[in-house]
């Protein structure tokens, strides 16, 4: 793919993502006064306080943040966020401000899900809609403050401002909205095809496990050489990745062959490749 075509596709993706954000704000969160952080939350709040259209507020705030980025973060960061920062208020201006659902809880849930999808798309293509993501980057550069903490602090201030402007109910809805958005983003970024990784060591020969597990389960097995601190004898550890549905059967097979087997199980968000970086059992 040519560089021009790749850049054009990137711009289209950013425009699509900020349009999704605009739908979330103007059709679901904004009409119910749910200001869940970010410049969009400030836009909703200042629209009520100052009677200024939220698109204008977001544009003004993003311009200020762009100036700060140019001064403190350099040209590269400035260019990365420029397009998204300008397109976001445009999206808020062209998406109609209508109340799709009268029920506030329903609007909050769907609005937060849609917002999380939009932000996750921007993160995946390493873009941004600007706004309150800029100050945490500045604090990280000059004061070595973790960006996640900085973003949490800025969103917390906006949500607290929501308590002052709208009241306790809207404040609680805003907190719930942030939680739902975070969960949606996490699942999109790390994948929804969740599995379990099972590692176990046994005094029983690994061949007995290999034959039974590979016959019953659609899983790839990986073999490690391990050594116990208590005994100098080398042992073999088996690693396999199975679906949540197949995990009980996996555990049953292992414990049937060796009730004393040492088993470690943990959740994994994404699995790619055959055998990962290790050597799968042939």
How far apart are alpha carbons 135 and 217 in whole angstroms?
50
Rounded-to-5 percentages of helix, strand, coil across the chain? 65, 10, 25
Length of the chain: 282
- Does the structure show a pLDDT above 90 at 188? no
Question: Quick one: pLDDT at residue 276?
Answer: 42
Question: Quick one: pLDDT at residue 60?
Answer: 92
Question: Quick one: pLDDT at residue 107?
Answer: 95
Question: Quick one: pLDDT at residue 282?
Answer: 33
Percent with pLDDT over 70 in the chain: 88
Q: Provide mean pLDDT across the span 51-57.
A: 91
- Does the structure show a pLDDT above 60 at 278? no
How far apart are alpha carbons 44 and 38 in whole angstroms?
10
Q: Provide mean pLDDT across the span 249-276.
A: 78
- Does the structure show a pLDDT above 50 at 267? yes
75-108: pLDDT as tens digits:
877 887 889 899 999 999 999 999 998 999 999 9
Residues 121, 126, 130, 135: is their CA dihedral positive or negative? Answer: positive
Instruction: Name the residue with higher pLDDT: 151 or 19.
Output: 19
Q: Which of 62-71, 124-133, 231-240 has maximum average pLDDT? A: 62-71
Say if residues 58 and 43 touch (Cβ distance below 8 Å): yes
- Does the structure show a pLDDT above 80 at 51? yes
Q: Which domains does the chain have, with CATH numbers?
A: 3-190 (no CATH), 195-268 (3.30.70.120)
Question: Quick one: pLDDT at residue 272?
Answer: 58
CB atoms near residue 148 (< 10 Å) = 10
Percent with pLDDT over 90 in the chain: 22
**Residue 266 dihedral angles phi and psi, to the nearest 5°:** -145, 155
Instruction: Indicate the pLDDT class of residue 271, thresholds 50, 70 and 90.
Output: low
How far apart are alpha carbons 73 and 48 in whole angstroms?
32
Question: Quick one: pLDDT at residue 88?
Answer: 92
Q: Provide mean pLDDT across the span 250-263.
A: 88
How far apart are alpha carbons 41 and 29 in whole angstroms?
9
Question: Quick one: pLDDT at residue 279?
Answer: 34
Question: Quick one: pLDDT at residue 24?
Answer: 94
Distance from the first to the final alpha carbon of the chain: 38
DSSP 8-state symbol, 125: T
DSSP 8-state symbol, 100: S
Instruction: Indicate the pLDDT class of residue 280, thresholds 50, 70 and 90.
Output: very low
Kindly give the residue spans of alpha helices, DSSP state H, lying in 132-167.
Answer: 134-143, 147-165
Average pLDDT, the chain: 83
How far apart are alpha carbons 39 and 77 in whole angstroms?
18
Ranges 142-146, 163-167, 172-176: which has the least confidence: 142-146
How far apart are alpha carbons 155 and 134 in whole angstroms?
12
Element (H, E) at 200: strand 195-201
């Amino acid at each position: 793919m040519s560089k021009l075509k790749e850049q054009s596709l990137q711009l289209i993706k950013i425009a699509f993502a900020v349009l999704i954000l605009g739908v979330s704000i103007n059709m679901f969160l904004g009409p119910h006064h749910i200001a869940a952080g970010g410049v969009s939350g400030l836009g909703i709040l200042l629209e009520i306080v100052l009677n200024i259209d939220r698109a204008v507020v977001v544009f003004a705030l993003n311009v200020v943040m762009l100036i700060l980025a140019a001064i403190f973060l350099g040209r590269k960061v400035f260019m990365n966020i420029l397009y998204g920062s300008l397109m976001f208020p445009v999206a808020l201006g062209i998406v109609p401000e209508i109340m799709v659902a009268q029920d506030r809880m329903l609007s909050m849930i769907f609005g937060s899900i849609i917002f999380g999808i939009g932000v996750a798309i921007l993160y995946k293509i390493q873009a941004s809609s600007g706004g309150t993501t800029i100050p945490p980057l500045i604090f990280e550069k000059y004061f070595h403050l973790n960006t996640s903490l900085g973003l949490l602090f800025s969103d917390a201030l906006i949500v607290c401002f929501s308590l002052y402007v709208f009241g306790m109910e809207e404040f609680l809805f805003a907190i719930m909205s942030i939680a739902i958005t975070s969960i949606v983003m996490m699942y999109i970024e790390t994948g929804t095809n969740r599995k379990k990784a099972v590692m176990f060591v046994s005094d029983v020969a690994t061949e007995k496990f290999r034959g039974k597990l590979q016959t019953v389960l659609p899983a790839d097995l990986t073999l490690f050489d391990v050594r116990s601190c208590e005994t100098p004898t080398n042992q073999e550890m088996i690693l396999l990745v199975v679906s949540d549905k197949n995990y009980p059967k996996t555990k049953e097979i292992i414990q049937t062959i060796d009730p004393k087997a040492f088993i470690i199980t943990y959740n994994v968000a994404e699995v790619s490749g055959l055998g990962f970086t290790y050597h799968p059992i042939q």
